[in-house]
Structure 1
Amino acid sequence: MIALVTLSATGAELAATLHRRMAGSALYIHSAVAPAPADAERFERSADLLARLFATVDGIVFIGPCGVAVRAIAPCLQDKYSDPAVVVLDVGARHAISLLSGHEGGANDLALTVANILGAEPVVTTTTEAEKRIIVGVGCRRGCSAEAIAAAVRVGLARAGTDLTQVRYLASADIKADEPGLAAAARQLKLPLRLIASEAIRNCTQPFNEQALVKEKVNLPGVAEPAALLAGRRTRLILPRIIHNQVTVAVAREE
């Protein structure tokens, strides 16, 4: 179970959005916030609530100041193998921070899930993940198989002179959120899937090759190249889009 905890009315709106999209989640909203969803549990002190939740949930998404979250969970900490995943999200939905139990507890994956739903930036500081600098952007037709996507990714990486061990994200547009083949390919390749908001792609200021056909079909100037560029920081394309078995792949590297 994932606990969605917030102290503010703005945070409650974000929590409600996450609750609708995340199976097995539960809402916890401070008693001072009005109104609140009927299925939300109310609480008075975040420290008391988090102490109770710490031993019973798989993960906590705390929507509010990072300092408040740190002070509240500090007395509860045991070790990275037993502590639940903790993610902190600011009320502006700008950053989803993997705060605690990033790798072993699943906070890195939870931060990515939250970021994909809200269009936030996932913040992962785990050394083994932060060292990876390659992002593979993917565009595919509806119903494309996981095998075709995975094969195209491998071909693209080979042409770019790199491999799966260096890949930080598989990236695509948010309109592909319900594409089962893409999600399955990410699992098959053991890569996190980052979904970029369509509006961010339309407003992308980095140079990429715009595609008239993509614009006509999904109202986006492109998918693979802008997704690869926008999924990281200080990125540049090291492999412009290629098409392999009807799957479009582009590779970017963070500098």
Structure 2
Amino acid sequence: MTKSTAVVAITKHGTAIARRLQEQLPDVDVYYPQKFAQGDEVSREITAFSGSVVDYVPTLFSAYSGLVGIFSLGAMVRLVAPLLRDKKTDPAIVVVDDRAEHAISVLSGHLGGANLLTQQVAKALGARPVITTASDVAQTVAVDLLGREYGFEIDNFEMVTEVSAAVVNEERVHIIQEAGELGWWPYAKPLPAYLKVFNSLEAARQQPFDAALVITPRLLTKDETKQFLTRGVLYRPKVIVVGVGCNRGTSAKEIEHVIMHTLNTVQLSMKSVRNVATIDLKADEPGLLELCARHKWPLVTYTAEQLNQVSIPNPSDTVFKHVGAYGVSEPAALLSSDAKDFVVEKVRSGNVTVSICIVSHS
């Protein structure tokens, strides 16, 4: 179980197909019955099992992010039905027929990546991909995948199904993007007329709409929430860079508290933090490392020389005396975000200094 996807066959023809897939796709582990073993399984790291595939599927289902079965769709449905939990956690399930004519996306088409896996399998085998997800068939916005490649995080997942229905039924859907990467439309054709893009909620409210997709790091007001999220999905793009300076030995709890308080003060969501930036002397700071690990924030560091090349509004001789730079949080935030200005120049609380910048994608 070293790869992301398990390929399971149960017939002689299926075994040959599984071996072909292993040759074409580097990130698959292959399983098939011992009676079809060809003698090279150990060298190819293929598992030849004894007994029934029924005994293996539950383990593979939980151990891999993708499962390709080279047997009938009905058999796969019966095998995985008792194992299903949630579309956000279930693995991608794909089936291939015994002649490799069709590759069918069965489960977790979007979030789990089954539609993409189906395309990859079909291409490797020269098979026809069968994908029935409405948004893929219509080549329109996949609400649950919008901006996923850029790290957009859905803040109210409970609205995805209803808003997806609005999209595939071609209702009037406003897409309001206040920040974040702009290349989320995956097709060569223009956006359909029922999808309209705005760069602010104020502009969007000037035209009637039935549903909304809101991409912003801002904490919405009560009125904005009522108007746009009653039937809308809120996405958090990863656009906030937090510059941090702290004294040696500062706890993760204290650093987190200052960051949270600062973001709340300027009405920004912690879910939109892309990374933390600081001086290289803090690359091993336990509290900072603990906090970044907890939130899965990359920690970006710069030398004092790099920080001193940045013009900042609040240089400090005291900071220079201790670390060799005239500032830490301010220049680190500017360097990491490539922003031209601050959302928050510098806030000092206790042992922590925080500066906030927004990454621009205009």
TM-score normalised by structure 2 residue count: 0.37
CA distance in 1, matches of 2:64, 2:106: 16
Tell me the secondary structure at the aligned position of residue 55 of structure 1. helix
Match of 1:106 among 113, 127, 138: 113
Determine the C-alpha separation between the residues in 2 that align with 1:41 and 1:63: 15
1:13 Cα deviation from its structure 2 partner? 1.1
The secondary structure found in structure 1 opposite 2:68 is: strand
Residue 33 (1) aligns with residue 36 (2): yes
Aligned to 1:66: 73
Q: CA deviation at 1:37?
A: 4.2
Aligned Cα root-mean-square deviation (Å): 2.4
> What's the secondary structure of 1:128's corresponding residue?
helix
Cα distance in structure 2, aligned partners of 1:107 and 1:54: 13
Alignment correspondent of 2:190: 163
1:45 and 1:121 map into 2 onto residues whose CA distance is: 28
User: What's the counterpart of residue 22 of structure 2?
Assistant: 19
Give SS of 1:28's match: strand
2:47 aligned partner, one-letter code: E
Give the alignment partner of residue 47 of structure 1, picking from 48, 54, 64: 54
2:256 is matched with which residue? none
Q: Is the 8 A contact 2:37 2:48 kept in 1?
A: no
Equivalenced residues, count = 142
Q: Which residue is equivalent to 1:118?
A: 125
How far off is 1:71 after superposition?
1.0
What amino acid does structure 1 have at the position aligned with 2:5? Answer: I
SS, match of residue 69 in structure 2: strand
Percent of aligned pairs sharing the same letter: 37
Matched letter for residue 97 of structure 1: I
3-state SS of the aligned residue for 1:91?
A: coil
- The structure that has the greater radius of gyration is 2
Asked whether 1:132 is paired with 2:159, we answer no
Shift of 1:46: 1.6
Q: Secondary structure at the match of 2:63?
A: coil
TM-score (norm 1): 0.51
After superposition, the C-alpha distances for 1:29-58 in whole angstroms (9 at most, x for unaligned) are 023324364122123222221100111101
Give 5+ residue unaligned stretches, structure 1.
134-149, 167-255
CA distance in 2, matches of 1:9, 1:36: 15
